Amino acid sequence: MPDDRPRVATREAYGKALAALGAERSDIVVLDADLSGSTKTKQFATAFPDRFFNMGVAEANMIGTAAGLSFSGLTVFASSFAMFAAGKAFEQVRQEVALPRANVKICATHAGITTGEDGASHQVLEDIAIMRVLPEMRVIVPADGLETEQAIAAVAAVDGPCYVRLSRLKVPMFLPADYRFELGKAALLRQGKDVTLVGTGVTTYQCVLAAEQLASAGIRARVLNMATVKPIDTDALLAAARQTGAIVTVEEHQRIGGLGSAVAETVSELHPCPVVRLGMNDRFGESGPGDKLLEHFGLSAPSIARAATDLLTRLGRGPDA
């Protein structure tokens, strides 16, 4: 059935949340690399022009300036496309933000294959790996507009570096009205004891849909929204491994180094169980509509449900076992 809930890109919710923060706190400063219309920081710039700085097409300089401003006691948000924030400015992120533990929030939009028609050059699929390997760096990937607004408030409230990964694709506002984001904690969206589906960002909604499809086949799938990839929620993963014994992770990112790797690393140390990692299999993306690319690369609900069924069949626990 068609989903008639409002569809909002997490980058749009970021712009809204940033403007709200600016009204509440005079220490909030925003920098952008000449992409404020696309990153949605323009809302903040319009409301608080004296606290907004367009740094031009100079991401490395933007990150260095953000760090400097943070050392004067300000809470600094720095935005660009994920390809540029994580790729072009990596040295500055490492040396000037992570190493001295600067209070800088890097909020990168247009991440993953759902960047869509911009194609492989702009569909960054490596940024979670790049950022989560840095000491002191928190990595957050909100699932919908509601969670984005709460996540932006949460990163503003903690001291130190954060990387927030945001998407261009509009997704349904599917989380319940009473949902509460908690930094470092996974959200249990659906109970289940047969298999656990772990999503992050836009793939979490696809996991919810997949769980509904699996239910019709008699498979009870647990769904975890892993909005914080680092620090990862070890308690939630340990419970999933013990109680379901099978995990499928889903991300619009390389299978290497992202959510799937983080989950597999955690589970292998605490309570080993099979982990199937759905993501980009050592390849770049393609140009096309974001939702169609999720289907094409096996990251939509039918493919997730099929991967979970295949895993359970391999374990002798399929619906026909």
According to CATH, the topology of domain 187-314 is Rossmann fold (3.40.50)
CA distances from 250 to 6, 40, 81, 149, 198 (A): 23, 27, 22, 23, 6
Q: Looking at per-residue confidence, does 66 or 3 come out higher?
A: 66
Catalytic-role residue among 12, 24, 59, 91: 59
- Domain coordinates in residue numbering, the chain: 8-172, 187-314
Instruction: For residue 321, name the pLDDT band (cuts at 50, 70, 90).
Output: low
The fold for domain 8-172 equals Rossmann fold (3.40.50)
E strands present in the chain = 7-9, 28-32, 52-54, 75-81, 104-109, 138-140, 162-165, 170-172, 187-190, 195-199, 221-225, 228-230, 247-254, 275-280
- Give the ranges where 217-276 is alpha helix by DSSP (H): 234-244, 259-270
Instruction: State the Cα–Cα distance between residues 137 and 78, nearest whole angstrom.
Output: 14
Burial class (CB in 10 A: 0-12, 13-18, 19+), 177: exposed
What is the C-alpha to C-alpha distance for residues 124 and 84, in angstroms, rounded to an integer?
A: 9
Assess whether pLDDT exceeds 60 at residue 320. yes
Model confidence at 57: pLDDT above 90: yes
Q: Please give the Cα distance from 140 to 14 (Å, whole number).
A: 13
Mean of the pLDDT values across residues 57-78? 98
Q: For the chain, what is the mean pLDDT?
A: 96
User: Which positions ≥6 away from 253 have C-beta within 8 Å?
Assistant: 112, 125, 126, 127, 128, 129, 259, 279, 280
At 1 the pLDDT is: 46
Q: pLDDT tens for residues 73-102?
A: 999 999 999 999 999 999 999 999 999 999
Q: Which two tokens stand for residue 226?
A: 């892993």
Would the pLDDT of 302 be above 60?
Answer: yes
pLDDT tens per residue, range 248-289: 999 999 999 999 999 999 999 999 999 999 999 999 999 999
Tell me the residue type at 169: L
The per-residue pLDDT for range 172-194, each reduced to its tens digit, is 999 999 999 999 999 999 999 99
8-172 shares its CATH topology with 187-314: yes
Residue-level pLDDT at 115: 96
The answer to whether 269 is a known catalytic residue is no
- Grade residue 5 by pLDDT with cuts at 50, 70 and 90: confident
CA dihedral (282, 207, 84, 121) positive or negative: positive
**Percentage of the chain exceeding pLDDT 90:** 97
Reported confidence tier of residue 4, pLDDT bands at 50, 70, 90: confident
pLDDT > 70: percent of the chain = 99
Question: pLDDT tens across 147-166, in order?
Answer: 999 999 999 999 999 999 99
Structure tokens at 14: 């970021």
Q: What share of the chain is helix, strand, coil (3-state, %, to 5)?
A: 45, 20, 35
Q: Give yes or no for residue 318 having a pLDDT over 80.
A: no
| Averaged pLDDT, 28-34 | 98
pLDDT 10s digits, 281-301: 999 999 999 999 999 999 999
DSSP state letter for 39: H
